[in-house]
Amino acid sequence: MKIDIKKIPPQKKEFKTSLDGLTLEGEFYRDNNLVKIEARLYGQVEVECNKCANTFIREIDDELKLIITNQIYNGFDDEYDVIEIFSQLIDFDDIITSEIESIKLDFDNICESCQMNEI
């Protein structure tokens, strides 16, 4: 799902999109020159165990708060993660893909078998 930044209204608008086993659902809106997304990312992702390297399915249910801008963002935000884009289009599939890659790199990717061996 792609949306032109110029077409995003200041009122909150609901959305829902899915990719590769994950669903991103929430609201987006314009706040001055920024686009804010408040959403829930949920579903399943196949990841590799950091101990035994076997793959397993990890359940995901995360809250995301994002600021999207096509300009350089000066400052820091404690509540929102900032994404700078180089076009006029916000691509929600790219956001999900980026989250999937972050999940796959997470140090907490330990399969059930390896967790049982730690006890």
Q: Choose among 33, 96, 29: nearest CA to 69.
A: 33
Q: How far is CA 38 from the centre of its chain?
A: 10
* Cα gap 94→37, rounded to integer Å: 14
Total structural domains within the chain? 1
Residue 92: other Cβ atoms inside 10 A: 19
pLDDT of residue 23: 96
Which pair of tokens denotes residue 73? 């963002």
Give 18-27 pLDDT, tens digit per residue. 999 999 999 9
Task: Give the strand pairing for 2-4 and 55-69.
Answer: unpaired
Q: What is the DSSP letter of 52?
A: T
Task: Give the range of the structural domain holding residue 78, as residue numbers without chain letter.
Answer: 2-118
Give 38-80 pLDDT, tens digit per residue. 999 999 999 999 999 999 999 999 999 999 998 888 877 788 8
Q: Which of 7-11, 72-76, 94-98 has the lowest mean pLDDT?
A: 72-76
Average pLDDT, the chain: 91
What confidence category does residue 119 fall into, taking pLDDT thresholds of 50, 70 and 90?
low
Taking residues 82-103, what's their average pLDDT?
Answer: 91
Taking residues 13-22, what's their average pLDDT?
Answer: 94
